[in-house]
Structures are given as structure tokens and as C-alpha cells.
Amino acid sequence: MRKKVLDLGRFSDPSLLILASLAAGPKHGYAMMEDIFQFSGTRLEPGTLYGAITRLEQRGWIEALESEDRRRPYQITAAGATALREQLATWNRVITTGLQRLPANEAG
Amino acid sequence: MKPMLWATWLLRCYPRAWRARYEQEMLALLEQHTVTLATLLDLLLGALEAHLDPNYRTVRPFFGFTDLRSIAITFVCAFTLAFFNMTTWTGLHPAVVGDVAGFLYTRLSDLGSVVMFLAALFSNLLVVGMLVKEVQGSRRKQLLWPAVCCLVLFFAAPLLFIGPRPTPHPLLRNPSPQLSAALLTRASQIYIAVLPFYKMIPVTIAPLQDQPSVYLGNLLHLAPFLSVLLSSLFIVLVTARKTSMKPRLPVLWITGVEVVVFSLGFYLFLGSILEPVLGLQAIVYLRPFYACLCLLVGLFMTLIIRKMMSKPRFSALWLIGLLCLIVSGFCLVVVFLLVGPVSRGLIGWIVYYGLDILPYFAWPATMVLVLLTSEVSRSKGRLALICASALALAMLLYMATQLVTLPSSLYDIQLYPHMITAWWTGSGAFLTTLTINALVTMVEVGIAIAMLIRGFIVLKTPTAPVTPQAGQTLTQRVQE
């Protein structure tokens, strides 16, 4: 059930998921997909993943590392970590507020 | 096809710059991933998204070719298709079956032909003049004689067709007085009176024997064809003497001939097969399809030959060119025979299609020859664009005259109802075909004009524009 709710694919926030994944350390594309599935239940498809990677790289929130392999790893930058913190703090407020209000609505 | 192959193919839909950066790692990921229908859809959306990304979008202006070759090819395609559609539109005209000189429609159509003829003459003379001017010093004197010969031939060739005038059709003797009063009609009459050797020759050919004399041998169509042939010949004469261009231009010239001859041959081939089966009316309806097929065949041949140009197979190409010349020569001989008694059956058809269709391919072919050589000389390219503009203008004028003739032909129908067969009346397909034809023509004319404008812009640029390299993003280009 939880998977169904969160598995919004392209319409979830893949950028946030990628930043959260890379916060644990550098990863290449496939490792990111697996990691994201593990902690969020969302299976990102390659097109969505690389669309988000492209945007994050342009903003300077992640950067590619040198690799001899075709699978190029990415790591989060300091700016990316700050952005992630801000995003999570916002979501935290949203979640806290939502949880506080839910029982009140149900009671009402 | 396997899903992975589909995925690989979809990756090609991404912008070139994006692929240069991410394609390899994306492929590595896809090899590990289970590719499903959702993956393919996701890749397609990703490709769209990447194209919308200004950092990876290929930087091109609207109608954005930056090289003259692409502009030339696009122009030629649009121009040819537009012209073919226009002739089809004329062919579908209500008065087509009664295409007799007594009709106002026919006279106004002649005026359009005169405009086209003048434009072709103007364009080709300009090209020849510029080529002579470009040649340096003593060579210019050597090249003057073929130029003069070409011009003499050009003006003299139509005189060869002066012969005993056939008895005019009754409609010619009794044109409606009201229509004769029309200004445009008078203008066309005066013009034709000034140039007596451009009179039309009435011909009755086998498939139309049950019809009154139908005027097919219109020399106004022949004149531009000859001008194109001769000026193309002259282009080869001039440029073949330039050592640097020796291996290239003859091949380009052959390319043009290929387009013309193959298109004509294909048209005739299909026509000869289908005409007995479907009849003349079907042939008229099938014209647009023929046009598309001819265009495809012509383009296909052009592509093959252009590919072959990079390989040392010039002798084979010369052979093909020679064969094409023989075929062209045969068509011309047939035209000469038309004046005599051998103007029946198949020959009539060859002449009809040769005169009617060939010029519309030959003009753009000449233009593309000149445009393709513009990488050597920008002034030549500019000149070619001016000529092409003149043709485009003529095309528009011709179209305008055709539009004017529509109400006039309806008037003609009232006067001579017995001349019109019922095949076009009350037919929804007829109106639909006319509408589609008109729309396609307008679109193609628009593209052709846009290409001309683009060509002028490119030529006006002081230095040759650089095409963005593969894998180069906008940011990198800005940094450079």
C-alpha cells in the first residue's frame, strides 16, 4: 500500500530522491535507482532519473566523478547538501503540520 | 524487436549534445535494467524534456539551415512539389477537358505561362552572364563563343517550330466577344501576336480522339526547357575548365539530369501502365501521387549519386549522364517529329508529358546545380538565389492568374456546356482534391520563400556560419 502511494514515478520529486540517495555517498545511475527503491519504494525509470540528474548537474547540486567505466558515479556537492537540507526541513514542517491537523479533522 | 533495441533507438531521439554527455552511461544503466513498456515511454518523455532544455537543445534559427546546400535542397523540394501541385490544380480545373484556345481560361493560362517563361529566361541569362564574368582574362574569350552559341540557339530554337498553321478550331474563330473585352485577355493576345513563333499547335492524340482538338503542344513550355538545357550545358562548359572543380561539377550536373529524366521516365511509365486501365480521368486524379513518387525517385537518385561522389566512380557516373543525355535527346527528336504526321498515340503522350512536366523539374535542377557550387563562389550562390527568387515570384504570379481563371472558366462553361464532360460536376472528391492541392501548394510556396530568405541571410553573413559541433552545449558555445 505504501509503495502505491509513493510510487508516482515521473510526477514524484526525483531530484529530491536522488539528492537523498547521494547524501549517503557517490553512486552511479543504476545504484541510485536501486537505493531509491529501497528507501522510498519508488522505482525511477532511466528517462526520469537522467532527466533529474541533468537538472541537478546544471544547478551544481551534484557532480560527476571520473570513471574508467561507462557507469559514471555522481556525488552531492555542498550546495546540493544545503538544498537537500532546506527541502527536507520544508517537508518536515509540512509533515509535522499535516500530522497535527489530521486528527483534528477526523475528530471534527 | 527486442525492448533493448527499442530503448537504444529511443536514445537517438535525444538531442545530440545530450547524447554526447549521457548516452554511454545511460546505455550501461539500460543494460542492467529490465526494459519494459513503461521504460520506453519514460525514455520518450525524457527525450522530449531534453529537447525543451535550452542547454541541450540544438541551436538553430527558425527554418534553420545554416549551410547553403541544405537550403538549396529544401528549396528545390518545396519548389518542385509546389509547381507540381499547381499544374495538378490546373489539370483539375473544370475546363480541363475543354482546354481550347477559345476559352478565356486558356488565354489567361497562357498569360501565366508567359510570365513563367520570362522569369526562366531572365534567371538563366543572369546565370550565364555571371559565369562569363567570373572567368578570368583570356579564358573569357574562349568561353564567349559557347555562350553566344547558346544564346543564338535559345532564341532560334523556337523558330524551328514555325510551320504551316493548322486550321483553327471553330471556337478559335468565334471567341465570345464579351470575354475578349477583358483586359488580361487582350494583353495575352497582344503578347502572343508580337511573338508569332510561340503560337500553340493544336494536336489530336489517340486517347483523346473523341474530343475536339486539344492544344497540347504549347511551345511556351518548350522555350524554358530549352533555355534550361542550354544554360545547364553552358554551366558545364564553363566550370569543367576550372581544374579545381573538374571532378565535381559534371557529377552535379548529372545529378540534375538524373532528377529530371528519372522523374519523367517514372511518370511516363506509370502513366502508360495505368492509363488504359483507369482512363484519362483517373490519370488526372492520380497526378499528385505521381508527383510525390517522382519526387521521391528523383531525391533517391540524387542521394545515391551524392554518396557516390565521395568515391572514385566518376567514369560510371559519366556513363549514366551520357545515357540520360541520349534519353533527353530522344525526347527532343520526338518534339521535332510532332510537327510532322507522327503525332499520334504514344508519341503524343511523350510530348505532352515531356513539355508539360519536364520544365518544372529542369528549372529547380538548374538552380540546385548553381546553389551547390556556391561553396566555391558566394557571388554565384547569391546570384542563384536571386534567380530562384525570380522563379518564386513567377510561381506566385502564375498561381494568381490560375485563381483568376476559375470564375472565368465557370463563365466559359455556361457558354460552351457541351465542351465539358460530367466527370467533375457534383463530385465531392473533386472539390476535396482541389482544396488539398491548394493547401499543399500554399505550404510548399511558403517553405520555398522561407528558404530563399534564409539563403539571403546566410549569404549576407560576412563569414560562413559554423555549424554547432556534436556534443557542444549552449554554455560551451557561449564560453567560446
User: Across the interface, which of A28, A47, A71 has its CB nearest the CB of B46?
Assistant: A47
**Closest by Cα among B444, B387, B465, B357 to B69:** B465
Residues 200-229 of B with CB under 8 A from A: none
Q: Is B48 on the interface with A (CB under 8 A)?
A: no
Q: What is the radius of gyration, based on Cα positions, of chain B?
A: 26
Neighbours of B439 (CB within 10 A): 11
Cβ atoms of residues B124 and B231 within 8 Å: yes
* ipTM summary value: 0.84
pLDDT digits (tens, 9 = 90+) for B214-267: 333 344 444 444 445 555 555 555 454 443 444 444 444 544 444 444 444 444
pLDDT digits (tens, 9 = 90+) for A39-61: 888 888 899 899 899 888 888 89
Residues of A in contact with B28 (CB under 8 A): 28-30, 69-71
C-alpha atoms less than 13 angstroms from C-alpha of A76 in its C-beta half-sphere: 20
Residues 6+ apart with CB under 8 A from B256: B232, B362, B365, B366, B368, B369
**Closest by Cα among B195, B156, B96 to B413:** B96
Mean pLDDT across chain B? 54
Q: How confident is the model at residue A24 (pLDDT cuts 50, 70, 90)?
A: very high
Cβ atoms of residues B145 and B135 within 8 Å: no
Neighbours of A9 (CB within 10 A): 15
Cβ atoms of residues B101 and B412 within 8 Å: no
Please answer yes or no on whether B25 and A71 come within 8 Å at the CB atom. yes
Please answer yes or no on whether B43 and A46 come within 8 Å at the CB atom. yes
Taking 70 as the threshold, does the pLDDT of residue B372 lie above it?
no
Q: Is A59 on the interface with B (CB under 8 A)?
A: no
Q: Which range in B32-41, B68-77, B104-113, B158-167 is most confidently predicted, on average pLDDT?
A: B32-41
CA atoms of B228 and B121, how far apart (whole Å): 8
Cell 501576336 belongs to residue:
B193
Q: How confident is the model at residue B67 (pLDDT cuts 50, 70, 90)?
A: low
B201 - beta bridge partners?
A: B217
Q: Is B27 on the interface with A (CB under 8 A)?
A: yes
Q: Is A32 on the interface with B (CB under 8 A)?
A: no
Q: Which range in A35-39, B193-197, B307-311 is most confidently predicted, on average pLDDT?
A: A35-39
Residue of A nearest to B43 (CA): A47
**Closest by Cα among B452, B260, B252 to B370:** B252
**Closest by Cα among B44, B41, B77, B16 to B365:** B77
User: Across the interface, which of B29, B49, B55 has its CB nearest the CB of A46?
Assistant: B29
Cα B368 versus chain centre, distance: 10
Neighbours of B47 (CB within 10 A): 20
pLDDT digits (tens, 9 = 90+) for B427-457: 444 555 556 666 666 777 777 777 777 777 7
Please answer yes or no on whether A54 and B42 come within 8 Å at the CB atom. no
Please answer yes or no on whether A46 and B33 come within 8 Å at the CB atom. yes
Please answer yes or no on whether B39 and A47 come within 8 Å at the CB atom. yes
Residue of A nearest to B40 (CA): A47
Please answer yes or no on whether B46 and A50 come within 8 Å at the CB atom. yes
Q: How confident is the model at residue B152 (pLDDT cuts 50, 70, 90)?
A: low
Q: How confident is the model at residue B398 (pLDDT cuts 50, 70, 90)?
A: low
